Amino acid sequence: MSWAAGRDRNICKRITFTQDEWERVQNLYEELTRYAPEHRSFSSYARRMLSERRIHVTEIRPLTDPEPIAREIDRIGVNVNQIAHWANANEHITPAQVEEIRASFDRIEQLLGDLFADRREAWKDA
């Protein structure tokens, strides 16, 4: 029984590379397989690249850097805590301070809304 008998893919071709070409191929393959598990085998990757000339990979990264959002929420939390502490010490709070708290929560809602809108857009484009 020959090697090709009973195989769906029964044609085998050899290909040769220079060292530089092989390093480029390996780098592309490693980069791709990080995000496209269906091409984990080199044969699958090479077959697709040679037959379709490209592989479309959608890399999903954190859509926004969480650091600025965390800093903004932290600042808002500090403001709210200061106002709450002052209100507890003085046993009253002014309408302006209530408005400041509401504005802070509106800002949090806006930041989170923007974050989720970015996420929805990324999924729609994928």
User: How sure is the predictor about 7, in pLDDT bands with cuts at 50, 70 and 90?
Assistant: confident
Domain limits for position 98: 66-125
- The torsion of the CA quartet 79, 83, 84, 89, rounded to 10 degrees, works out to 140
- In the predicted model, what is the mean pLDDT of the chain? 76
pTM of the model: 0.37
Q: Residue 33 domain-assigned?
A: yes
| 108 contact partners, CB below 8 Å, separation of at least 6 | 73, 76
Residue 126: both structure tokens together: 């994928």
pLDDT in tens, 90-114: 777 778 877 887 888 888 878 777 7
pLDDT of residue 18: 93
Q: Residue 6 domain-assigned?
A: no
Q: Residue 3 domain-assigned?
A: no
pLDDT in tens, 10-44: 888 888 989 999 998 888 888 777 766 676 788 88
| 57 contact partners, CB below 8 Å, separation of at least 6 | 32, 35, 36
Q: Residue 121 domain-assigned?
A: yes
Q: Are residues 79 and 35 part of one domain?
A: no
Nearest to 64 by CA among 117, 105, 103: 117
User: How sure is the predictor about 63, in pLDDT bands with cuts at 50, 70 and 90?
Assistant: low
What residue type is assigned to position 124 of the chain?
K
* Structural domain count, the chain: 2
User: How sure is the predictor about 65, in pLDDT bands with cuts at 50, 70 and 90?
Assistant: low
Q: Residue 4 domain-assigned?
A: no
Residue 13: both structure tokens together: 């071709």
d(CA 43, CA 57): 17
User: How sure is the predictor about 62, in pLDDT bands with cuts at 50, 70 and 90?
Assistant: low
| pLDDT, average across residues 53-75 | 66
d(CA 54, CA 20): 20
Residue 106 backbone zone (phi > 0: left; psi -120 to 50: alpha; other: beta): alpha
Q: What is the DSSP-derived secondary structure letter of residue 75?
A: H
